[in-house]
């Protein structure tokens, strides 16, 4: 086993200096690697002074990349050193192994970089499913936290800076957004849209040659004070907007020269074809209904009243009214069928004091088919 340990050390920690593998143990699906640090001195993170005085040691258990489909946990023994600098606030400090661990880290740096790459490529939920397949399972929130902890990428000073405002609360809180016009990427966000804030930001970046802005006076003042060497131009949207306003004013001034639009001749409207009768030709009911409709209209035209026509035909007054309003017999019958297919729903009103429900509603309410026996109210 002792002959294999140097090879394991070269295999597992080839890019890490100051770590020695002491043993490797496989327990079910977990590979546990016991290692320790070998550096004689360490640097104090407070004052930066070297110290070789050992105070004690303790174990750390950072997770590492899997091997052969098994989880890997490193049992790393690190030491605490005594800071010998009298002016330093720290009494003791723990040594950190470069390229392997970091302060309060629970994963090795190579595992952390792998998870960050997965998170940047697949984001939260999909990235969490991928980590399960890679045998380094973490939650989606962990991936998002790792991405959020990344330092902001260094952005070069733009040659052409675009300045505009954005709103945090419409009508109340506004800020300033600065964009690299050539790459079309945002560069920075300022908390307000004051001229002083913009002037300070531009003064810290002397490489700006062109400032692309709108017509706001505070942006003009800030660009003049912060980047006097830069050329100030209007952006594309405001150029088109200004051109549209100028064209509109020009047309408004010259509207007297415009000739009135000649009147267009009205096109003759085509008469709508009468709707086809839903009844077949020669049907006895259809012929009887048409004859009854014609007779009713003839009697009404002769001066007969609607109640008298209703008594003469033995119909209700509503039926006579429907036939009198319909231009054709089909229209009268359609109105009757339409009203019958969608009956009006009556809402039961409140009962009067001392009254009882209608007996005909009892079977519907209870689901019973028998007639109820109602008690006789005393007189």
Taking a C-beta distance cutoff of 8 angstroms, is the pair 199, 218 a contact?
A: no
Helix (H, G, I), strand (E, B) or coil at 117: helix
Taking a C-beta distance cutoff of 8 angstroms, is the pair 187, 178 a contact?
A: yes
Spatial separation of the C-alpha atoms in residues 330 and 322, rounded to whole Å: 11
Dihedral of CA 116/121/126/131: which sign?
A: negative
Dihedral of CA 133/137/139/141: which sign?
A: negative
Per cent of the chain over pLDDT 70 is: 79
Taking a C-beta distance cutoff of 8 angstroms, is the pair 143, 126 a contact?
A: no
Q: Can you give the pTM of this predicted structure?
A: 0.49
Please count the other Cβ atoms lying within 10 Å of the Cβ belonging to residue 192. Answer: 14
Spatial separation of the C-alpha atoms in residues 82 and 46, rounded to whole Å: 12
Q: Give Cβ neighbours of residue 25 (< 8 Å, ≥ 6 apart).
A: 31, 32, 34
Render each residue's pLDDT in the chain as its tens digit; 379 residues: 566 667 777 677 777 777 888 888 888 888 888 888 888 888 888 888 888 888 888 898 888 888 888 888 888 898 899 998 888 888 898 888 888 888 888 888 889 999 999 999 988 899 999 999 888 899 999 999 999 988 887 788 889 999 988 888 887 888 999 999 888 888 989 988 889 999 999 999 888 999 998 888 888 899 999 988 989 988 888 888 889 999 999 888 887 787 777 777 777 766 655 555 555 665 677 778 888 888 888 888 888 888 888 888 888 888 888 888 887 776 666 555 544 444 444 444 454 444 444 444 444 444 444 444 444 444 4
Taking a C-beta distance cutoff of 8 angstroms, is the pair 337, 320 a contact?
A: no
- pLDDT given for residue 207 in this prediction: 86
Spatial separation of the C-alpha atoms in residues 30 and 3, rounded to whole Å: 23
Taking a C-beta distance cutoff of 8 angstroms, is the pair 321, 296 a contact?
A: no
Helix (H, G, I), strand (E, B) or coil at 152: coil
CA 146 vs. chain centroid, Å, equals 22
Spatial separation of the C-alpha atoms in residues 374 and 323, rounded to whole Å: 44
Query: What ranges do the domains of the chain cover?
Result: 5-102, 112-148, 160-239, 284-337
**Cα angle 25-30-33, degrees, rounded to a multiple of 5:** 40
Nearest to 218 by CA among 238, 194, 237, 202: 194
DSSP per position, 211-261: EEE-S-HHHHHHHHHH-TTSEEEE-HHHHHHHHHHHHHHHHHHTGGGSPPP
Q: Give Cβ neighbours of residue 130 (< 8 Å, ≥ 6 apart).
A: 118, 122
């Amino acid at each position: 086993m002792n002959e294999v340990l140097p090879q394991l050390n070269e295999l597992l920690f080839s890019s890490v200096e100051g770590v020695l593998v002491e043993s490797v143990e496989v327990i079910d699906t977990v590979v546990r690697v016991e290692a320790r640090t070998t550096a004689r001195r360490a640097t104090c993170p407070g004052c930066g002074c070297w110290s070789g005085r050992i105070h004690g040691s303790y174990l750390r258990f950072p997770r590492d990349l899997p091997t052969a489909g098994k989880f890997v946990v490193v049992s790393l023994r690190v030491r605490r050193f005594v800071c010998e600098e009298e002016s330093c606030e720290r009494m003791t400090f723990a040594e950190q192994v470069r390229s392997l661990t970091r302060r309060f880290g629970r994963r090795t740096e190579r595992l952390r970089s792998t998870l960050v790459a997965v998170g940047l490529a697949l984001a939260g939920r999909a990235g969490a499913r991928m980590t399960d397949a890679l045998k380094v399972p973490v939650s989606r929130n962990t991936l998002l936290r790792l991405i959020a902890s990344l330092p902001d990428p260094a952005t070069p000073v733009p040659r052409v800076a675009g300045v505009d405002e954005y709103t945090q609360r419409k009508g109340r809180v506004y800020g300033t957004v600065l964009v690299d016009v050539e790459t079309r990427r945002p560069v920075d966000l300022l908390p307000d849209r004051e001229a002083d804030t913009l002037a300070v930001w531009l003064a810290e970046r002397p490489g700006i040659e062109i400032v692309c802005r709108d017509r706001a006076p505070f942006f003009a003042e800030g660009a003049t004070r912060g980047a006097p060497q830069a050329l100030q131009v209007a952006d594309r949207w405001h150029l088109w907007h200004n051109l549209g306003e100028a064209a509109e004013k020009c047309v408004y001034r010259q509207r007297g020269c415009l000739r009135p639009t000649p009147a267009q001749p009205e096109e003759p409207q085509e008469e709508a074809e009468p709707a086809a009768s839903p009844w077949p030709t020669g049907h006895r009911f259809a012929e009887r209904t048409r004859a009854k409709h014609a007779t009713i209209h003839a009697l009404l035209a002769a001066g007969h009243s609607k109640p008298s026509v209703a008594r003469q035909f033995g119909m209700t007054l509503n039926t006579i009214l429907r036939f009198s309003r319909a231009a054709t017999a089909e229209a009268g019958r359609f109105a009757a069928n339409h009203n019958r297919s969608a009956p009006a729903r009556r809402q039961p009103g409140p009962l009067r004091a001392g009254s009882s429900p209608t007996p005909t509603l009892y079977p519907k309410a209870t689901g019973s088919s028998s007639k109820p026996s109602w008690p006789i109210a005393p007189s």
